[in-house]
Amino acid sequence: MNRFLSHATNRIDAKGRVSVPSAFRAVLTEAGAKELYCFQDFVFPAISVGGPELLDRFERQMASEDPFSDAANQMSLLVHGGGVFVKLDPEGRLMVTDFIRDFTGISTDVAFVGRGDHFQLWEPQAFARAQAEAREGRKQRGLRPQ
Amino acid sequence: MNRFLSHATNRIDAKGRVSVPSAFRAVLTEAGAKELYCFQDFVFPAISVGGPELLDRFERQMASEDPFSDAANQMSLLVHGGGVFVKLDPEGRLMVTDFIRDFTGISTDVAFVGRGDHFQLWEPQAFARAQAEAREGRKQRGLRPQ
DNA sequence: GCTTCTCCCATTGACGCCCATATGGTCCCA
DNA sequence: TGGGACCATATGGGCGTCAATGGGAGAAGC
């Protein structure tokens, strides 16, 4: 397993820490990432997290846009300027800062959501809603992969 | 037999486990799958289960689209984030987690339903109803294969 | 000096692995 | 054709391990 898949919800403790799921930690150590880079998702109320190579992914995305468009400009602002570094403690926990709480609405529990080459932090209810909406959209457009 | 066919209902034990029917396990071992990938069906209140190739199929579909489009983003949320890995114990049982229970309404028994290249977990009553409705729908449209 | 962060250790509860039992079906033989 | 032995599957439960969580103490920063 070398990608971020599946999801799990963990509780924030009294000190504001939360355990990163074991499966995700395994991916990180395999990739050799000792420091994580976080920034706000462009569409969802979620924080994207990954190793340093995560920057590459979003720079590719920016490159796919017209470099002078508003979208590319905003992405650069969020990715380059809005990012935050986070590191894990020896038990594999991270601090849930106000940067994370304010943008996601997270208060007591964190949903860790795999996105392939990175993962995201969600307020659990918001994740459930976004998923339900995405499923509904798929259904209406008749894009069932079966 | 290399496909998932027919259906069977098994009971959940006190620890929340349920035996995967022997016929389905045989298909899985023949395919060499030691870990299973599950996700919520887009139409029915059922969990779809299959080997890693089930995930591959979704990813091929995503790869065929613009990787940074909204559609791909939604698809990733559902497939990467919405899926769950499950593994069988040495006796061929799986844990029925809240992820499965909440979406399907399963409480004490699980209906295993073959769907060709994958199988599904249903609440037995819901499966019976959906089957009856499907039968009725075909009858009304004059599409009965007999 | 006080707050905040980091590291270390303890607890506990869930999960994976093991073995035991029940139950139903099949095959063989009388 | 009926009975019985055998086998496979489903089910039940004990136990060890590991991940998630909680809290204490030292170190660093304000």
Q: What confidence tens digit (pLDDT) does each residue in B70-88 have?
A: 888 889 999 999 999 999 9
C-alpha distance from residue B129 to each of A73, A82, B44, B123 (Å): 52, 51, 11, 10
Nucleotides of C under 7 A from a protein CB: 5-10, 15-20
- Which chain B residues contact residue A44 at CB under 8 A? 77
Torsions phi, psi for A114 (to 5 deg): -70, 140
The pLDDT assigned to B70 comes to: 80
Give the closest nucleotide to B85 (alpha carbon vs C1'): C15
pLDDT tens for each residue of B10-55 = 999 999 999 999 999 999 998 888 789 999 998 999 999 998 888 9
In chain B, beta strands by DSSP E: 7-11, 17-19, 36-40, 47-50, 84-86, 93-95, 109-114, 119-122
Name the closest residue on chain B to residue A59, using Cα atoms.
Answer: B68
Sorting pLDDT into bands at 50, 70 and 90, what band is A146?
A: very low
Q: d(Cα A97, Cα A16) in Å, to the nearest integer?
A: 8
Mean pLDDT of A58-63: 77
Percentage of the residues of chain A whose pLDDT score is greater than 70: 93
Q: Which residue of A has its CA nearest to B70?
A: A43
Domains of chain B, each with CATH number or no CATH? 7-140 (3.40.1550.20)
Q: Say if residue B1's pLDDT is above 70.
A: no
Tens digit of pLDDT for each residue in B118-139? 999 999 999 999 999 988 877 7
Q: Which residues of A touch B82 (CB under 8 A)?
A: 7, 131, 135
Chain segment A17-37, per-residue pLDDT in tens: 999 999 999 999 988 887 898
Q: How far apart are the first and last CA of chain A?
A: 25
Mean pLDDT across chain A: 87
pLDDT of residue B78: 93
pLDDT at A76 over 90: no
| Inter-chain residue contact B81 with A43, CB threshold 8 Å | no
